Structure 1
Amino acid sequence: MSENSTTTPSNDEMAEIEWEMRPGGMLVQKRIGASDVSTPNLRLRIAFGAVRIEISVNSQATFGEVKKVLTVETGLQPGEQRLIFRGKERENGEYLDMCGVKDRSKVILMEDPVSIEKRSIEMRRNARIQTALRAISDIALELDKLVDQVSVIEKSFSSGVKVSEVQITTLIEMLMRHAIKLDNIPAEGDATAQKNLQGKRVRKCVETLDVLKLSNAGLKPVVVTTKWETFDPPPNTAHWENFD
């Protein structure tokens, strides 16, 4: 049987072991001449790396049922476990007593390599998310101060008090610098929602200041236009080269 297989026996072992399907769908080793006499529990010594665990299970339990017990002890799900007895990985449906497991027998527990890699990837992902959340939180604290300043300017305008255009422009520049910082934060998971939230705060403040800036400019006596192409040339200046 392949060492990586945990559910389907090989053709050679099918000839050695008879299997049957339980009502729940689990393929288990078929018992021959099972008795009605109550069966004793076995104490199994589980070696999991440097950790030693002792559990008690029924002698006629399957290795799959042992994995369920070990889930409570180790936190590993049955699909993440590999049980080795007498140098051989055991199938979920194999019975302990029919494989020669006795009281105080030693069983080696190994974590499936695929689950190790998945957990490593998840840990790295969580670390990235936490780093992003801390960076976003720092920006949010700075934005709180800028938002307060925008509110003060809004109240001044509402009261008819003119605000320096330099003050408004400076605030917009500070907000845009924070927007750039947010864009440079690689976010995923929960950090994405927080990043978007702070981005909306920046946009709202900038839009508010843009409106106030236009209102502030409207109070000035000089009208400024950017459509220079609409200006007519001054009269009597078409032939400057004729002047001595």
Structure 2
Amino acid sequence: MLGVKSRNLGTVPAAKGGATSTSGGGGGMTAWELRPCGMLVQKRNSDVNQSQNVVPTIKVKVKYCSSYHEITIKSQATFGELKKMLAGRTGLNPLDQKLVYKDKERDSKSYLDVAGVKDGSRMMLFIDVMRQEKRLVEDLKSAKMDKAKLSLMEITSEIDKLAKEVGNLEREIYGGKKVNEKVLLNLIELLMSQLIKLDGIVGDGDVKLQRRMQVKRVQKFIENLDLLKIQNSKVGISKSNISFEQKLVSSMEKQRDSMKWPLVVTTEWEKF
């Protein structure tokens, strides 16, 4: 049988198609494996100690008010993960939780095993009132901001529709077509109502900037409609003036024709 010699391991017999183990100079057992090329090498530590790398599961008891909650969790988990599990039991937001272990509040990023938490350990859960109030204020502010954004989007959509109507009126009036003045006045009124809605939107940052842009946009449309009212009135006057002038010229021509009398000679002049 073929043998492999090592300075520390002595003679290691090769097993057919498998791994063998032998004792070294220190008397410990060493695991070996036979590679496909025929080389006998020592097994990797990850394979040898695979069973040793398994993270144990522990049970901890957490007291919240007058109730106890037993939680099964990995020993290498964080206190933040434990808070998430407690949220399902207590209904308390993890951000509002204060976990105390061994008379010390534990940070959410800290690990249980590092803090010394073991199977059967006990800890206390409290409500962080200040943190809860701060979070509620921030949530309320965020909700108002979302509502303002939604309202702004709806108003912008209405302004876009009115902008198309303004554009249609501009093409008609500047094209020489007279429109009903009530149409212009109604459109101005609708734009004014959008200004009132924009005035009721309160927000910071991007919402404030978008609101200001829409206000300027509506004001510009109203100015254009005021100019269209003037132009529309000119279109009506010019047409009536042309009609009046045509009638006046026709009437004068008729009068002139009626004043043409035949020429009558009443005196006979002496002829030389």
TM-score category (smaller protein): 0.5 to 0.7
Secondary structure at the aligned position of 2:98 is classed as strand
Equivalent in the alignment of 1:160: 176
Distance 1:105 1:165 in 2: 83
Distance 2:216 2:198 in 1: 11
Displacement after TM superposition at 1:215 (Å): 2.6
Assess if the C-alpha contact under 8 Å between 1:82 and 1:89 holds in 2: no
Displacement after TM superposition at 1:129 (Å): 2.4
Equivalent positions of 1:81-92 (< 5 A) are 81-85=97-101, 88-90=103-105
Residue 108 in 1 paired to residue 124 in 2?
Answer: yes
1:67 to 79, 82, 91: 79
Equivalent in the alignment of 2:161: 145
Assess if the C-alpha contact under 8 Å between 1:46 and 1:54 holds in 2: no
Displacement after TM superposition at 1:148 (Å): 2.6
Task: For structure 1, list consecutive stretches of 5 or more residues without a partner in the other structure.
Answer: 1-37, 59-64, 222-244
Displacement after TM superposition at 1:103 (Å): 1.0
Secondary structure at the aligned position of 1:89 is classed as coil
Residue 206 in 1 paired to residue 222 in 2?
Answer: yes
1:44 to 53, 60, 66: 60
Larger Rg: 2
Residue 132 in 1 paired to residue 144 in 2?
Answer: no
Displacement after TM superposition at 1:175 (Å): 0.8
1:56 to 74, 83, 100: 74
Secondary structure at the aligned position of 2:143 is classed as helix
Equivalent in the alignment of 1:185: 201
Secondary structure at the aligned position of 2:100 is classed as strand
Distance 1:116 1:152 in 2: 55
Q: Which moved more, 1:96-105 or 1:132-141?
A: 96-105
User: With structure 1 as the length reference, what TM-score do the two structures score?
Assistant: 0.54
Which structure has the higher relative contact order (CA within 8 Å, separation 6+)?
1
Distance 1:107 1:154 in 2: 75
Equivalent in the alignment of 1:175: 191
User: With structure 2 as the length reference, what TM-score do the two structures score?
Assistant: 0.49
Instruction: Kindly provide the amino acid, as one letter, of the partner of residue 89 in structure 1.
Output: K
**Size of the alignment, in residue pairs?**
176
Equivalent in the alignment of 2:137: 121
Distance 2:148 2:68 in 1: 35
Distance 2:233 2:189 in 1: 18
Distance 1:48 1:197 in 2: 52
Distance 1:66 1:102 in 2: 13
Equivalent in the alignment of 1:228: none
Distance 1:174 1:212 in 2: 16
Instruction: Kindly provide the amino acid, as one letter, of the partner of residue 173 in structure 1.
Output: E
Identity %: 33
Secondary structure at the aligned position of 1:205 is classed as helix
Displacement after TM superposition at 1:123 (Å): 1.7
Assess if the C-alpha contact under 8 Å between 2:78 and 2:112 holds in 1: no
Distance 2:207 2:111 in 1: 48
Distance 2:204 2:84 in 1: 31
Displacement after TM superposition at 1:72 (Å): 6.3
